[in-house]
Amino acid sequence: MTWIRFDGERDFIDIFLACERQKLFQLGDVYLILMQLHTFPCNHCQSFLSNLLDALAKNSDIKVKLLIAENPFDQPKALQSGDLLYLPEGMLSNERLQASLGVFSSDTKVFLFDPYGSLWFAWSGDEVEAETVEETLQWLTYLDIQCPE
């Protein structure tokens, strides 16, 4: 599947404000990647997350937090990272979140947000691919150039 460009939609801002209240991150400080992946332990999704975390660690110029729309108790030990967060309890059943995620019919979704919670890019498909990691970094770099503050 290909990437879809948005115009800074704020559909997810309520969710991010709830995360901010729980001190998961501070809006304005980091770029956000929200992911809905296959249920762990899907090997493709684990590999994608592991490779993305490695790539982000090597590219320390851009500060990013990854939010997973999954239950934290399903997290493999190998994927524990301070940059990998799970949506707060109760958010997974949030009607607005489900409606926003439901716009895409595929199983796997990757959403890229600027530091202020505006949606700019999304990838949706049945299976994440190896090149999706590099494409994610390229779109984050593009966002960083467009939103330098």
Buried b (16+ CB within 10 A) or exposed e, 97-107: beebbeebeeb
Write out the residue range of the structural domain in which residue 74 sits. Answer: 3-146
pTM of this structure: 0.84
Identify the pLDDT of residue 139: 93
pLDDT in tens, the chain (149 residues): 678 898 888 888 888 888 888 888 899 999 999 888 776 557 778 888 888 888 888 888 888 988 887 655 555 555 555 667 777 666 655 666 666 666 666 677 889 999 999 999 988 887 787 788 999 999 999 999 987 55
Q: Provide the CATH number for the domain around residue 113.
A: 3.40.30.10
Q: How far is CA 44 from CA 47, 76, 109, 125, 132, in A?
A: 5, 13, 13, 12, 11
d(CA 12, CA 35): 13
Identify the pLDDT of residue 136: 92
Identify the pLDDT of residue 96: 64
Identify the pLDDT of residue 113: 93
User: Cβ(54)–Cβ(114) under 8 Å?
Assistant: no
Domain count, the chain: 1
Identify the pLDDT of residue 14: 82
Which SS3 state, helix, strand or coil, does residue 132 take? Answer: helix
Q: How far is CA 107 from CA 20, 27, 124, 138, in A?
A: 27, 27, 8, 23
